[in-house]
Amino acid sequence: MSIGGRVRGAAFAVAAIGGVVLATPAPADAHPLDVYLQASYVTVTSSGIDVELDLSPGTQVAGRVIDDLDTNGDRVFQEAEGLAFARRAVAVLGLSLDGTSLPVRIDDVVLPTYKATVAGYGTIKITTSSTATVTPGHHTVSYTNGSTVTKSVFQANAFLQDGLSASVGTQERNANQSRLTFPVTITGTQAPTSPRRPGGGPATTNAIAIGATAVALGGAALPLRRSIERRRARAG
């Protein structure tokens, strides 16, 4: 589990349509001060479905998140506190493939510093995965973030693992984007070709598409792809 010091590059939304490239800053990097942004990135992989949950409280709502995270009140986010927080956040997520519920396991938790969170710049990043048999053909993926935290603003988008022979159809969301459903067609069984780090998973790259662009385009099918790095949370 990674605490604090990991530096994450700025993500950008990019979509190539008719030769035109659209780019917008990722919403998690700049959000209103009075909301709790909960952004979900649902990625279909060769072995199942990964969900990255980025939780970014603005300054006016950071206090309640800090109280839930810094349970001993020492103004330092400890690894055990982060894992307990992540378990509570993941407990309200729902994920299914073709109507069959999938268990969601926590792979990694990256915590911001206490000071950054108080200032409204902190993002809690929870990486999860679910194992499923993703065979060639048509499938339906459904995802729900059931959080009831006041002032929450949701975003949810579908992605494909780099190198996976597949395509995503029109993404359907409810009014507040806490629920996402989308069709995915697997067109082959070839393994993804993402570069791998020695002894680890594929190297992580920035997402090439994000919610603002997908919503602006009316949920149109886009070549949404991400490279995935699996990081397993260390036992207690």
Residue found by looking up tokens 């069984």 in the block: 189
78-86 contacts, C-beta under 8 A, 24 or more apart: 78/3, 79/1, 79/3, 79/109, 80/236, 82/1, 82/3, 82/109, 82/111, 82/124, 83/1, 83/109, 83/233, 83/236, 85/109, 85/124, 86/124, 86/126
Domain boundaries, the chain: 2-226
Q: In terms of pLDDT, which residue wins out, 88 or 198?
A: 88
* Residue-wise pLDDT tens digits, 54-63: 999 999 999 9
Least confident of 104-113, 124-133, 224-233: 224-233
CA angle 86, 28, 118 (to 5 degrees): 70
pLDDT for res 235: 36
Average pLDDT score over the chain: 76
pLDDT for res 207: 33
Q: Which of 153, 154, 138 is nearest to 42 (CA)?
A: 154
